[in-house]
Each structure stands twice: as C-alpha cells, then as structure tokens.
Amino acid sequence: MGIAHKMAKKQREISIAEFFEKNKQILGFDSLTKAMVVSVKEAVDNSLDACEEARILPDIFVKIESVGKDEYRITVEDNGPGIVRKNIPLVFGKLLYGSRFHAIRQSRGQQGIGISAVVLYGQLTTGKPARIISKIREEEVAYEIILSIDTKKNAPRVIKESPIIWNRDEGTHVEVTIRGRYTRGKQSVLEYLQQTAIVNPHAQITFIEPDGRKIIFKRATDTLPQPTREIKPHPYGIELGQLVNMVRSTRTYRLTSFLTTEFSRVSPKIAEEICKKAYLYGDMRPQELTIHEAKRLMEAFSKVKLMAPPTDCLSPIGENLIKKGLKNVLGSLRPGFYAKPITREPKVYGGNPFIVEVGLVYGGELPKDQPVRILRFANRVPLLYQQGACVITKAISSVDWRRYGLEQRGGEGIPVGPAIILVHVASTRVPFTSEAKEAIADVPEIREEIELALKSLGRQLKMFMIKKERKNKLSEKFFLVTKLLPEIARKSAEIVEKPIPPLEPVISKIMNVVWIDEDMEKIGKDEVKIKVNVTNFIPKELKFTLYGDYPVGSLLETDGSPGEDYVKWDVKIKPLERKVFYFRLGDAGGYTETNYYVDGINPSVVVGAEPLPGDWNIRLETMEEILEEEENEEEEVVEDIEEMEDVGDE
C-alpha cells in the first residue's frame, strides 16, 4: 500500500468534544487554579444572562466544596427562568449548542460552549457526571438530570432523569465536580465574583467558600440594566461570505426589501441608493445575486452614509459604575485624581456594533514604581487571565503615555506609575481570542477606539498635572508677592528713610489673576464642608459665573444655585476683595477635590478654575499655552520687583 493510502486510512473526523478533551487549555483549563475560576465563571455568566433575558433580578448562589485531594464540587443555583426539560441534556451535554449564538445582542455567553465545557472538564478529570435541576414556571415539578458527555459523538449521555419537588418557582441548579485548586487573592473565584458584583449591581451573589465562609455581595440596585434588544447586522464591515449566506436564505423577493429588512439602519431610500451605486435593479430577486454583484453591493455599502448601529443592543457599564469599580479596587488607598470616565460612541467591526468605555485613577497613595494596573471587562464580565494577549493591553501599550505624564520606556509597553486603568468593551459579538473568553483579539477597529478613549483620559491626566504644576508655581509667586514684597518695601523704605509706598496697585499689577482655591473640612464620618475662596488680584471690579462639580446625589447644602452635579455661583468682586462660598456633601468618603469652571471671564487670568464649557483638546491646548506664557512672565515678575526697588531707591 502506498504512503498516501496509508495516510488516508488514518484520516477521520474529530468530534468537537474529543477536540476539547485533548485541548482543554483552549477552554481555559490549563491549570488547577484557573480551572476553578473558569468553571464558576461559565455557570454564573449563564445565570446572569438567563435572569436578565427573563427580566428577573438575579439571585445567585455559588458554593464550592472540597471532596477529595484537588477535587471540588461546584454548585451554582439561580432564580432564572429555568430550562425546558427536553433541552437540558443538550444545553449541558453538547458543545456548540445554545440560544445566543445567532442573536445579535450583547450577552455574556455567545458560543454555546461554556457550561458544557465545564461538564466535559469535570468528567475528564474526576470521572463524575454533572447534576442539573431546573424548573420552569409553567410546570408543577422540577427535573433532576444526571448526565455526562459522549465525547466521540459530542452528545449528552443521560444517566438519570426524574421529576422532583423543588422549593423554587423557577430556576436552575448545576453541580459539577472538577479537579481544581481553590485560592483567594489575585485571579481567584473571589476576585471574579467581586468584580462581577460591581459591574452587575442588580445581582445578589451569595458565595460559600470551601471552608464554609459565607460572603454575600449584596444587590445595590433594584433596577435591571436596560434590556438589550436583538438587532439585524449593520452593513458596515459585513463579510462577503456572510452577505452571500444572507441572500441565499432570505425570504424577501426584492433586493431593496432584503436590504431594509435584514439589515439595521437601511431605510427604503438608502436601499435604493445602495442598489443604484451597485448598478443593480432594486426589484431583482436577492437569491439571484452573483458573487460579483454581491461584491458590488458590498462596495456600495461603503459608499453610502449610514447611521451608527442602534445602541439598545448594547449595555455599557456607565460612568458611575466605572468609578465605583475603580474605587473598590483601590480599597483604602486614596488616589490623587479621578479622571472622568469616557464612554465612546458605538462603532462597528465586521458588522458588529461595539462600545468602548474607559476610566482612570492616578496618584495619591497608589504605588508609584510599578506598571499601571489594568482592569479589563467584556460585556460586563471581568477578564482575569491572558492580559498580555488582549487588545486592551495592546492598546494601552501602544499609546505614548510619556506625553500624558506617565513613565514609559521608549514610549511603548505598559506604562509605569501610580495609576489604574479600567477598560470595558461591550459588543454584540466580542471577538475573543479563544473559546476560553479570556482576551479580546487585536481587531483594528476595537483597538483604535480603545486608543482614542485612552488618549482622552491621558489628556485629562496631563491637564491634572499641568493644573497642579501651575498651582504650585503660582503659589510661589503668590507667596513672593503678598508676603515678600511688603517686607522688601518696608526694608527699602527704612533704608532710604521714606514712607512705604502703596503696594496694592503693584501687587495686583504683578499678580493680575483671580485666585480660586478651596478648604475642605471633614464633618463626621462621611460628610465634608467645602469653602471656596475667591480673591480678585485684578485692578478692576469683575463679574463672572463660577461652577463647582460634585458626585451626583451627594449635595446637602450650598449658598450657590445647585444643579444636578454642580453648584453655580454668580460672582461680583472688587479689586483685592476676597469672597468665600461654600457647599456641603454627604456620603463623600472618597471625595478629594472639586473641579471649578468659570464663564464670562477671560480664563487665562483665572487660577484654580477652567473655562466652561469646551472639549478637553481645546482646554489642554489653552492650558499649555497659559503655562508657557506664565513661564515667560516669570522673568517679568523679577523685572517688576526690580523696578519697584528702583522706585524705592529714588
């Protein structure tokens, strides 16, 4: 027998279950500690998805028990809608079976692999089958099913199936025994649940550790996230092969109606336009499109202006939860600066809408001499492993952070400094690098969005640093002018035996600023009183508006006009006059500093507040210019003083 025939004898089909049995690392089971986290994660992600889809506030119970050396039983139970009896074996005992694969909508599970992979891993490492109990509202009883997976066939093998009485109206209970290792600390089940609880504050999670300790992550809000609506694919970025599949299976009879019904954001008018640009008749049957015509259609897609995809298929974390997530990670450490989280506009890659959100804290008590800490989330799920493989890390590494004041060797790589960066990518289809869903692939569109968002944070950071530097510099000048100048004048006057000249005009001439700063006073445990000092060092009366921001919902009292997240004061102030305003905040434990904004005044003469409103780019440029000017002016101050001394000499 020839070699080709010999080789042919060995060629055969491989079942997907066999494939993963031999490549369990692809599912994330490459070490015992990781296997534990992955198993809990897949079950909890499923529970959250099911509850949210059924619009039920999730109540999730997680228990890990030690049942032998390196052997643990993991139980996850939820109050979700349950699974109909005949589908239970398939959901848990067949890889590549699920409900969310074909839906274009943000959800945690998408692949139809996760939970059945856990069952597979359990049986591979402990030989034990999985136990599932599920009850749906319509039925009187629950069903208990004990099953394993026939890996050669990738099919469930039901060992026992029986109706049982269960004290729940609806819900699902999964028990899998796996080989694993339980740890606390970094990259642990605890960290996963903690971060999950933060970005899913509508869920209550009860966790019982192997030693019996019970940890409850309490529900922080009774409001479910907005339901994510299933959408049609968006024409931008769709692949030709996808389009071909779509025209093959469409039930529409006209190309134009194919375009309007099977795509999002294509109106009849736009459909006509697309057909025209593709040199195709709008009333042709879509099924008759040739490859060449499909290609022309694709090209026409890129030539028409389409609205961005609808965003109600996505569920961003939002500014408040991002801040809260960062605060939680900080623990008792106080940062110097919270950047305002950025939520970018939704974009599209390969027909899939996605949104990028980022947050940053900097300075204060954060460790200085370490790479910045990175928190990654995808569709509200924390990503704990494979940081190096993730587009988030790649985007962070490719931004030149030196421009924004962080240390970074050669302007690339993870920057070093006292900072934490949080990035969330939400999409109807997160392009994970593998079935383990640990890292997001380096898709150029996503990378670009993350980079833009990060640069926006970077500008805020730089702004903070410039402001700090400016304030420090001006503080020196302030000290020089208001403390030393009178002293020099007195001394000079004494020497030349003349009266001390009036200094106020000189001082305000030199300073020529409005000075704004604040004094913060802690009252009790969580309350702060903030006094806002405004001094006019400009030799004329001024009228302008001053704004101070604060966290939504924390304002207790003020002498200004309160807005949703700011206080407004109308300021009228004479030369060398000093005015004091105030506001009081409750629940302000982590409050560090107010941002002040001014309107109705040339912002370059104001110290301690920024122009309102404006985008960060312009503001940053303005601030950089001001800083530069001031540096030039420093010499002038010296000249001014010398000049004054000359006056004294006369």
* Shortest spacing between CB 632 and its own copies, in angstroms: 34
* Shortest spacing between CB 344 and its own copies, in angstroms: 20
388 interacts with its own copies by CB under 8 A: yes
Q: φ and ψ at 358, to 5 degrees?
A: -140, 155
Burial letters 317-346, b for 16+ CB under 10 A, else e: beeebbbbbbbebbeeeebbbbbebbbbeb
State which of positions 519-538 bind its own copies (CB under 8 A).
none
Among 205, 443, 463, 514, binds its own copies (CB under 8 A): 443
Spatial separation of the C-alpha atoms in residues 95 and 75, rounded to whole Å: 20
Residue 288's CB is within 10 A of a number of other CB atoms, namely 9
The bridge status of strand 352-362 relative to strand 347-349 is antiparallel
State which of positions 34-53 bind its own copies (CB under 8 A).
50, 53
Chain position carrying tokens 């300790």: 213
* Shortest spacing between CB 444 and its own copies, in angstroms: 6
* Shortest spacing between CB 255 and its own copies, in angstroms: 17
Specify the residue, 96 or 618, whose C-beta has the smaller distance to its own copies: 96
Residue 638's CB is within 10 A of a number of other CB atoms, namely 11
* Shortest spacing between CB 4 and its own copies, in angstroms: 4
Specify the residue, 166 or 582, whose C-beta has the smaller distance to its own copies: 166
Residue pair 135/168 in contact by the 8 Å Cβ criterion: yes
DSSP state of 605: G
Spatial separation of the C-alpha atoms in residues 372 and 3, rounded to whole Å: 56
Site size toward its own copies (CB under 8 A) is 90
* Shortest spacing between CB 200 and its own copies, in angstroms: 20
* Closest residue by Cα to residue 329 from 368, 366, 371: 366
Specify the residue, 19 or 166, whose C-beta has the smaller distance to its own copies: 19
Binding mask 211-250 for its own copies (x = CB under 8 A): ----------------------------xxxx-xx-----
393 interacts with its own copies by CB under 8 A: yes
DSSP string, 399-414: S-GGGGT-B-GGG-SS
Binding mask 63-102 for its own copies (x = CB under 8 A): ------------------xxxx-xx--xx--x-xxxxxxx
Specify the residue, 438 or 610, whose C-beta has the smaller distance to its own copies: 438
State which of positions 331-370 bind its own copies (CB under 8 A).
369-370
Residue pair 170/78 in contact by the 8 Å Cβ criterion: no
255 interacts with its own copies by CB under 8 A: no
Specify the residue, 119 or 506, whose C-beta has the smaller distance to its own copies: 119
Tokens for 187?
Answer: 């990259």
Specify the residue, 149 or 588, whose C-beta has the smaller distance to its own copies: 149
State which of positions 399-438 bind its own copies (CB under 8 A).
409-410, 413, 416, 429, 431-436
Strand partners, 378: 381, 425
State which of positions 175-194 bind its own copies (CB under 8 A).
179
DSSP string, 510-571: HH-SEEEEEEEEEETTTEEEEEEEEEE-SSS-EEEEEEEE--TT-EEEESSEE-SSEEEEEE
Specify the residue, 240 or 500, whose C-beta has the smaller distance to its own copies: 240
* Shortest spacing between CB 337 and its own copies, in angstroms: 23
Among 146, 215, 220, 389, binds its own copies (CB under 8 A): 389
Among 441, 465, 466, 605, binds its own copies (CB under 8 A): 441
147 interacts with its own copies by CB under 8 A: no
Tokens for 627?
Answer: 């800083």
* Shortest spacing between CB 36 and its own copies, in angstroms: 14
Among 66, 111, 257, 398, binds its own copies (CB under 8 A): 111
Q: Torsion-angle region of residue 62: left (phi > 0), alpha (psi -120 to 50) or beta?
A: beta
* Shortest spacing between CB 163 and its own copies, in angstroms: 16
Chain position carrying tokens 């025939």: 5
Specify the residue, 8 or 496, whose C-beta has the smaller distance to its own copies: 8
Among 124, 193, 199, 419, binds its own copies (CB under 8 A): 124
Spatial separation of the C-alpha atoms in residues 177 and 581, rounded to whole Å: 63
Specify the residue, 217 or 432, whose C-beta has the smaller distance to its own copies: 432
Specify the residue, 56 or 284, whose C-beta has the smaller distance to its own copies: 56
Among 75, 125, 200, 456, binds its own copies (CB under 8 A): 125
State which of positions 269-288 bind its own copies (CB under 8 A).
none
* Closest residue by Cα to residue 518 from 541, 487, 549, 492: 549
Binding mask 291-320 for its own copies (x = CB under 8 A): x--xx-------------------------
Tokens for 325?
Answer: 């997530």
Residue 493, SS3?
A: helix
State which of positions 588-647 bind its own copies (CB under 8 A).
none
H or E segment and range at residue 127: none
Residue pair 267/260 in contact by the 8 Å Cβ criterion: yes
Residue 218's CB is within 10 A of a number of other CB atoms, namely 10
* Closest residue by Cα to residue 350 from 438, 259, 441, 414: 441
Q: Torsion-angle region of residue 395: left (phi > 0), alpha (psi -120 to 50) or beta?
A: alpha
Specify the residue, 298 or 511, whose C-beta has the smaller distance to its own copies: 298
561 interacts with its own copies by CB under 8 A: no
Among 46, 47, 116, 126, binds its own copies (CB under 8 A): 126
Residue pair 311/275 in contact by the 8 Å Cβ criterion: no
Specify the residue, 39 or 460, whose C-beta has the smaller distance to its own copies: 39
